[in-house]
Chains A and B, each alone.
Chain A
């Protein structure tokens, strides 16, 4: 292969005097994790609300949940980020738009909220499926005990449903982290973005992308292991047989 490998490039100083190329990648990794976690919190909160709406007896609630999910699921994430980043501020009153645009770290907040909303639709679908998979008797028993709908969800249905959907939620969390890479298109310099900058500055394309790849693999391994541990420690003895 006619390519000059230079693995020591990571220890050479990057332009800008803020450390080596390796430091650059670590900064990217940290931003990827921050964006991913922030987006995931938004996705979990909104996704839970919408997921519950989809299982309520009310027709209106079902349709709100349905419309929400369809809206966020049927547009590419990249297009959604463009809508939030480029289009939304232009549609708002001028002073609001300007505030939004000149907010420090605008790409970070836009990415976190945009990815959070995008992923919340997926969380909602998973949760609705989880609740639907519970035996009907659960809800009936809760009602018979005199619990309100809110209490039934809070104390009976959701705790079990979340345990059931733990494995798919793990992969949705990983998807959230991976999706932060799309935000390089709105100027977020996360891990993939830093790898690309490193490639541009040092011309060592494959070293830069290899390092980023290894870091993504590490994130995956850590998250999968952590979630498995969480799954086991939350398992209800004798109820759901963990994998």
Chain B
């Protein structure tokens, strides 16, 4: 079955696959996770702010994003972001954003909807007495959030946030539809050029599997440690 396999094609393209492809994937994952968590936290704060209108807007945003397939959102943003940039900056022409920036904006906006739900649960898990105590100490709302609530919420939710980041890592493979050179894109370019798709796709599957597995194992250990501390 594996007789006419050419595993050498993998060795020959390792440099491109990892130095270009995996770097693209990991950079996109890391920056999107950071951006998504920050933006997601803001959305969660809006929902819990007590201002009806703000909460409504944030809620609609989350529901809206969560109703759409990521592939459709990726298409939307790739074509739309330059116009939005033009509108925001008031420029006379659409702002040229490269493939990477466009993908990054897409993933931040999309994943924020998911991260915000996690952060919302995290914030709600903090007992009401804590912000009340902070308030009694004379801390402002911003200070209460910054020094009391968010650090704990973030800490409690860290395993879930990281699990979502593993999902995000897998989701970045969808930039394939735009011909971007992420890890899967790189693998498929080599596969198609050399007609070696069986080898390349199997290899890509093994790499994604190994990384995700190792990461989720690490998250599980972290979770065990955190739950003991608590």
Contact = CB atoms under 8 A, between A and B. Distances in A.
Q: Do chains A and B touch in the complex (CB under 8 A)?
A: yes
Interface of A: 1-3, 70-71, 73-80, 82-83, 86-87, 90-91, 174, 178-182, 184-185, 192, 195-196, 205-206, 209, 212-213, 216-217, 219-220
Contacts of A217: 64, 67-68
B83 A83 contact: no
Interface in B56-80: 63-64, 66-72, 75-76, 79-80
Contacts of B79: 205-206, 209
Interface of B: 1, 63-64, 66-72, 75-76, 79-80, 83, 86-87, 93-94, 170-171, 173-174, 176-177, 184, 188, 197-198, 201-202, 204-205, 208-209, 212-213, 216
Contacts of A82: 188, 197, 201, 204-205
B70 A174 contact: no
Overall SS of chain A's interface:
helix
Given A74-B213, A220-B67, A79 B208 contact: yes
Given A2-B93, A179-B69, A213-B68, A206 B80 contact: yes
A-B pairs with the 5 shortest C-beta distances?
Answer: A181-B69, A74-B212, A76-B170, A178-B69, A76-B173
A216 B94 CA distance: 28
A184 B71 contact: yes
B173 A79 contact: yes
B184 A86 contact: no
A1 B87 contact: yes
Given A78-B176, A79-B205, A192 B72 contact: yes
Contacts of B71: 181-182, 184, 192
Contacts of A79: 173, 184, 201, 204-205, 208
Most chain B CB within 10 A, of A73, A74, A80, A86, is at A74
A77 B173 CA distance: 9
Nearest to A89: B198
Contact of A181 (B72, B188, B202): B72
A70 B213 contact: yes
Contacts of A185: 176-177
Contacts, number: 107
A240 to B, nearest CB: 20
Q: Which of B66, B71, B208 has the most CB of A within 10 A?
A: B71
A221 B26 CA distance: 35
Given A86-B197, A87-B201, A216-B67, A209 B72 contact: yes
Contacts of B72: 181, 192, 195, 209, 212-213, 216
A76 B76 CA distance: 21
18 contacts: A3-B83, A74-B208, A74-B212, A75-B208, A76-B173, A76-B208, A82-B188, A86-B198, A87-B197, A181-B69, A181-B70, A182-B71, A192-B75, A195-B75, A206-B80, A213-B76, A216-B67, A217-B64
Contacts of A2: 83, 86, 93-94
A75 B170 contact: yes
B208 A192 contact: no
A182 B201 contact: no
Contact of B68 (A3, A87, A184, A216): A216
A168 B29 CA distance: 26
A75 B212 contact: yes
B13 to A, nearest CB: 17
A174 B201 CA distance: 28
B32 to A, nearest CB: 15
B198 A209 contact: no
A87 B174 contact: no
Contacts of A192: 69, 71-72, 75
B208 A87 contact: no
Contacts of B76: 209, 213
Contacts of A80: 205
